[in-house]
């Protein structure tokens, strides 16, 4: 039985105890459940971000990219074989919802750790610290950094905080355009309907690598984007196990191999050292 089904069953048991007036601790034998007890996993990943999480063929249910590799590595360290890992494609706005509902057990989807999100999600990691950057059309001039975007139109994916980091974080006034996904933003940029797309440099590098003649990677990063592994809220045991897996992934060179596989052909300056973890409390 998949972990999410056990978690839903546990929630139902707790609800029943509330009706009966019984102590909640009697509802779930063996105490709180954790992903470390799972024998299979459903992992939420992006479906439209080349190099990170991309469905290889629409409707195939097969995904590839750095985030996918990281998820499979962590699952292996938890003792879950590849054939018992199922991937579900999602966009930025769906991550908390699908994790909270139990539709997915784990989210590895360029999921930046923020104080607000930590109120709903327990994060392992980060497994990589990206930096926000800017992508423009190849013929764009006068844009060498984020402050050059003043009064321009910048696209972000729904559920992202990218434009807020420009306007509120840096005080640069831009017009926000929001689309369902970053692949939609890239098409808006290609068509000339927006001036720039600004988000994590790993995301931008993946799109840039597909059509380098069409775009220019500004490559002048700002802010740290700590990619976390989204876990059910309160699953501290799983968080600690995930952090151990990430440490091993870097120490044994697997992380470097993954990063080079997906981004080695770009000009992106990558980090190969173990990220500083946020803590599991």
What pLDDT does residue 92 have?
87
What pLDDT does residue 268 have?
84
Q: What residue spans define the domains of the chain? A: 3-129+226-263, 130-224
CATH architecture of 130-224: 3-Layer(aba) Sandwich (3.40)
In this prediction, the residues of the chain whose per-residue pLDDT falls under 50 are 1-2, 4-31
What pLDDT does residue 11 have?
42
What pLDDT does residue 3 have?
52
What pLDDT does residue 29 have?
32
The tokens describing 114, both together, are: 């923020």
Choices 3.40.190.10, 3.40.640.10, 3.40.47.10, 3.20.20.70: CATH for 3-129+226-263: 3.40.190.10
Do 188 and 176 contact (CB within 8 A), yes or no? no
- Whether pTM > 0.75 for this model: the answer is yes
Q: Say if 3-129+226-263 and 130-224 have the same CATH topology.
A: yes
């Amino acid at each position: 039985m998949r972990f999410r089904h056990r978690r839903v069953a546990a929630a139902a048991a707790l609800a029943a105890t509330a009706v009966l007036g019984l102590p909640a601790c009697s509802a779930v034998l063996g105490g709180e459940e954790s992903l470390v007890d799972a024998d299979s996993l459903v992992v939420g990943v992006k479906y439209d971000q080349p190099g990170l999480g991309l469905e290889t063929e629409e409707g195939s249910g097969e995904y590839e990219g750095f985030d996918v590799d990281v998820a499979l590595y962590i699952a292996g360290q938890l003792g879950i074989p590849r054939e018992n890992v199922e991937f579900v494609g999602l966009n930025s706005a769906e991550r908390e919802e699908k994790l909270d509902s139990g539709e997915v057990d784990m989210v590895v989807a360029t999921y930046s750790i923020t104080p607000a999100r930590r109120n709903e999600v327990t994060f392992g990691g980060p497994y990589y610290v990206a930096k926000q950057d800017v992508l423009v059309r190849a013929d764009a001039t006068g844009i060498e950094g984020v402050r050059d975007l003043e009064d321009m139109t910048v696209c972000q994916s729904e559920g992202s905080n990218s434009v807020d980091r420009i306007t509120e974080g840096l005080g640069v006034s831009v017009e926000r355009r929001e689309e369902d996904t970053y692949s939609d933003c890239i098409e808006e940029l290609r068509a000339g309907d927006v001036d720039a797309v600004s988000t994590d440099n790993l995301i931008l590098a993946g799109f840039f690598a597909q059509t380098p003649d069409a775009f220019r990677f500004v490559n002048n990063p700002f802010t740290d984007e700590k990619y976390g592994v989204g876990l059910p809220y309160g699953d501290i045991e799983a968080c600690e196990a995930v952090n151990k897996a990430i440490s091993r992934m870097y120490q044994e060179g697997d992380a470097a191999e993954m990063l080079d596989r997906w981004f080695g052909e770009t000009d992106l300056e990558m980090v190969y050292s173990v990220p500083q973890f946020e803590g599991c409390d």
